[in-house]
A = this chain, B = another copy of it.
């Protein structure tokens, strides 16, 4: 059960220059994306760096939903800059890009695929020391400020994969709720769905002592180790916050209380899934966003088709939890109740449908598109979606129930329409 350092509070971002000075940093790489680079969160960081006399260079070419190509561009920048510390200001895309840049700049003779998860990459353990990285999340979903995971689209295969190692976990996350006030409502909703699924998936993942293989040397154990007594606590608390505050946070951009709570929930769920892992919603989400055709999410200012990560994750959740509930049905019922279902008269064998109904109602209330069909997919796409899920075994094998290709096919089919 590894851990994460976060500091939470309105205004903590202003302290980043002091933190870097305390770490002895003199030449810092500030990573962000083009949209954020003109907004207050980045300004505050730059002011704090200047005020503390710290030299820095800005890299603002982070791609929303990064690719191996965009990772490599950032890595080149990092290698040239010979930085002694990093600050990432943005959502998961920015934090993940910065983790990769720090890793490969610290290990300059590695091939890109060396550290990428098997079977796509070689999944080599990280043994080089990295530079300090401070993550400042500006969305409330990824929890990337607390995890050792960096996700990207591997364009050659059209699948999402990533790098997973405790070594790339940020040194410190500055969780500053003031940044959430800049988020468009759709971004709040979709990033909140990511929190929802981090919590549900990590809580229903296979228990840590039932996972196999179980390498005898601790260093060979995966970052994602199955549900455990510590991750359970984070998952349940994050889910309670999502149930209570997500709708308010989406509907009213000025609801600082609701947006603050969601910002904390994102970190809570991150600490939970960062230890326990996620499973089918995430495993199946990667081809859903990777194979996007023309769908462009509202309120996302990007120049390419995009299914936002949280949306691609949540869209299969009713089907997934109907499928997994036969294992650990009590946990499925417990989460349904947290989401507002009345489970007093529910039978244990109905745990799956009860949770699925609670999820459908929750998504309907938040105007989520009606299933994969509304995101541009048809039945003809199911074989490709299944094929794109198969390489995600790092997460799919953490599902409490094993899946055949037919099972995955049926899950995508059941997710074509939600309501």
Inter-chain CA distance A15–B209, complex, in Å, is 15
Contact of A3 among B4, B18, B237 (CB under 8 A): B4
Contact of A219 among B9, B18, B237, B264 (CB under 8 A): B18
Q: Mark A228-250, 1 if CB is under 8 A from B, else 0.
A: 11100110010000000000000
Q: Does A6 contact B (CB under 8 A)?
A: yes
Q: Number of residues in A with C-beta < 8 Å to the partner?
A: 25
Q: Mark A1-44, 1 if CB is under 8 A from B, else 0.
A: 11111111100000100110010000000000000000000000
Once A1-B6, A3-B5, A229-B264 are accepted as A-B contacts, the answer to whether A18 and B218 lie under 8 Å apart by CB is yes
Count this chain's copies in the assembly.
2
> B19 to A218, Cβ gap below 8 A?
yes
Contact of A218 among B22, B219, B230, B233 (CB under 8 A): B22
Q: Mark A37-65, 1 if CB is under 8 A from B, else 0.
A: 00000000000000000000000000000
Inter-chain CA distance A229–B261, complex, in Å, is 10
Q: Does A217 contact B (CB under 8 A)?
A: yes
> B3 to A229, Cβ gap below 8 A?
no
Contact of A9 among B7, B209, B216 (CB under 8 A): B209
> B1 to A5, Cβ gap below 8 A?
yes
> A18 to B233, Cβ gap below 8 A?
no
Distance in angstroms from A227 CB to nearest chain B CB is 13
Restricting to A188-231, which residues have a CB under 8 Å from any CB of B? 209, 216-219, 228-230
Least CB separation from A261: chain B residue: B229
On chain B, the residues within 8 Å of A9 by CB distance are 209
A residues bordering B, Cβ < 8 Å?
1-9, 15, 18-19, 22, 209, 216-219, 228-230, 233-234, 237, 264
* In the complex, the 9 A-B pairs of residues with the closest C-beta atoms, listed nearest first: A3-B3, A22-B219, A18-B217, A15-B218, A3-B5, A1-B6, A2-B5, A233-B237, A19-B218
Q: Please name 16 further chain A to chain B contacts, defined as beta carbons within 8 Å, in addition to the given A8-B229, A18-B216, sorted by A numbering.
A: A2-B5, A3-B5, A6-B230, A7-B218, A8-B228, A8-B230, A15-B216, A15-B218, A18-B217, A18-B218, A18-B219, A19-B218, A22-B218, A22-B219, A233-B233, A233-B237
Q: List 13 A-B contacts (CB under 8 A).
A: A2-B5, A3-B3, A3-B4, A3-B5, A6-B230, A8-B228, A8-B229, A9-B209, A15-B216, A15-B217, A15-B218, A18-B218, A18-B219
